[in-house]
Amino acid sequence: MLVVADSPPLIVLINIGHINVLPSLFGQVVVPPEVSAELNKANRPEAVQRFIAATPGWFLVRAASKIESIPSLHAGELAAISLAQELKADLLLIDEVDGRKAAAARHVPFTGIIGVLESAADRGLLDLQDAFSRVKQTDFWISHELLNERLRLYLGRRPR
């Protein structure tokens, strides 16, 4: 499966200690240099800095040959969407609303942190309640009510 990622889902997964679900779910993850640069900012948490300083083999950096200009998107989002289109990626990991809208308008399949964590829980890679609890303790802006509702739905559909 070919997966391209923007930085926020990666930062959240690193900060909650679950970045290693990505190779288990997808094999390799490709990011454009713009996303790698966002991860490498000096103000990132120590865990993110450690990850980017010693990136694992499943984490690949590849530049898009052309980056589309899409108003209201940041460089990482633009590059990730452009690279996903260019590579005909199976999935784009992106969380920002404007980025998701732009991906949908370009028929790029996407998911965000909730989808990744739910998929990982489906495969027995993590406990979803614990993962959502950890997300709530980060500075990632996501509605706690949304996480609670997704957990309720998830638990309601699991076989007993």
78-117, pLDDT tens digit by residue?
999 999 999 999 999 999 999 999 999 999 999 999 999 9
For 51, residues 6+ apart whose C-beta sits below 8 A from its C-beta are: 14, 19, 39
pLDDT band with cut points at 50, 70 and 90 for residue 158 = low
Specify if 145 maps to a domain. no
pLDDT in tens, 28-77: 999 999 999 999 998 999 999 999 999 999 999 999 999 999 989 999 99
Specify if 15 maps to a domain. yes
Specify if 131 maps to a domain. no
Specify if 22 maps to a domain. yes
Question: What is the span of the domain harbouring residue 26?
Answer: 3-114
pLDDT band with cut points at 50, 70 and 90 for residue 10 = very high
**Predicted local confidence at residue 156, as pLDDT:** 86
Specify if 13 maps to a domain. yes
Specify if 158 maps to a domain. no
Specify if 125 maps to a domain. no
Give every strand in the sheet of 3-5, ordered side by side: 59-61, 29-31, 3-5, 91-93, 110-111
Q: How many domains does the chain have?
A: 1
**Is 160 a residue whose pLDDT tops 70?**
no
Check which CATH number belongs to the domain holding 88 and give it. Answer: 3.40.50.1010
Q: What is the 3-state secondary structure (H, E, C) of the chain?
A: CCEEECHHHHHHHHHCCCCCHHHHHHCCEEECHHHHHHHCCCCCCHHHHHHHHCCCCCEEECCCCCCCCCCCCCHHHHHHHHHHHHHCCCEEECCCHHHHHHHHHCCCCEECHHHHHHHHHHCCCCCHHHHHHHHHCCCCCCCHHHHHHHHHHHHHHCCC
pLDDT band with cut points at 50, 70 and 90 for residue 141 = confident
Specify if 16 maps to a domain. yes
